Amino acid sequence: MTPLITPQELAALDDVTILDVRWRLGGPPGIEAYRQAHIPGAVFCDLDADLAGPPGPAGRHPLPEPAAFQAAMRRLGVSGSRPVVVYDEADSTAAARAWWTLRYFGHPDVRVLDGGLRAWTDAGLPVTAEERRAEPGDFTAVPGGMPLLDADGAAEIAARGVLLDARAAERYRGEVEPIDPVAGHIPGAVSAPTTENVDATGRFRGPESLRERFAGLGVGEGAEVGVYCGSGVTAAHQVLALELAGVRAALYVGSWSNWVADPSRPVAKGPSPRG
């Protein structure tokens, strides 16, 4: 089953949980956009509060504890036996974090609305400002449904496989760092900006196009692949794009914000993997 769904396919579903995961680094809060207009029946999922643990040395968006994630999903109406569709504004960056986290904790049927709310409205489908109170769900969080990396695992994949850095190229090179205290990249990582996974409308490129993109970055058949970004959000988008290309990749959830929390870890700068 493809992890994507079209607006028309979503509109045809009768029994589905829809999560609005609109989010932007630095704000404004996505709940404001949700209250103005959202897909009928959708409930708002807060990326910072529902899809991540408290920020700290583990990263700015570390993996939530299973009990906390389970409680959040049940509050939002998520059940293990009911399909879940997640969406954001357009490019699926935040929605992909919801997709990955639900899949990691064992939900069997999660899909991302390709193109987000923009694709939904472009298709002429209705929106509403009415806020829905979800009936509590029965989802049980069982960790381990998706490959996961810590800092040591990321370093190992950088040495023996392909570690993709999903941040903007200038952050990879260490020219700028607007968020974290240290600029640069993990030695051995390859620059692979997430923005190149989608077209101008925010929809994902086709599977063949994505396969060609990742092959050009060194992702060959049988390669061990890992992905990181600043805090494990855009990297989840990269994992989703790789999934569309037929490649299972591991996510370093702590990402750069966890890597640089330990000053003993090496940092590379410049356009080449080893700096």
Which residues are known to be catalytic? Answer: 229
Q: Is the dihedral of CA 150, 86, 84, 64 positive or negative?
A: positive
**Residue 205 DSSP code:** P
User: Would you call 228 helix, strand, or coil by DSSP?
Assistant: strand
The answer to whether 218 touches 190, Cβ cutoff 8 Å, is yes
| 54 Cβ neighbours under 8 A, 6+ residues apart | 62
Backbone angles phi, psi at 56, to 5 degrees: 170, -155
- For 90, 167, 197, 257, the CA distances from 200, given in Å and listed in that order, are 10, 18, 10, 29
What burial class does residue 152 get, using C-beta atoms within 10 Å of its C-beta: 0-12 exposed, 13-18 middle, 19+ buried? exposed
User: Would you call 154 helix, strand, or coil by DSSP?
Assistant: helix
CA pair distance 209, 199, nearest whole angstrom: 11
Sequence-distant contacts of 207-212: CB under 8 A, at least 24 apart = 207/244, 207/245, 207/246, 210/241, 210/242, 210/244, 210/245, 211/245, 211/246
- For 45, 147, 163, 249, the CA distances from 168, given in Å and listed in that order, are 26, 24, 15, 19
Roughly what angle, to the nearest 10 degrees, separates helices 234-244 and 207-216?
110
What burial class does residue 163 get, using C-beta atoms within 10 Å of its C-beta: 0-12 exposed, 13-18 middle, 19+ buried? buried
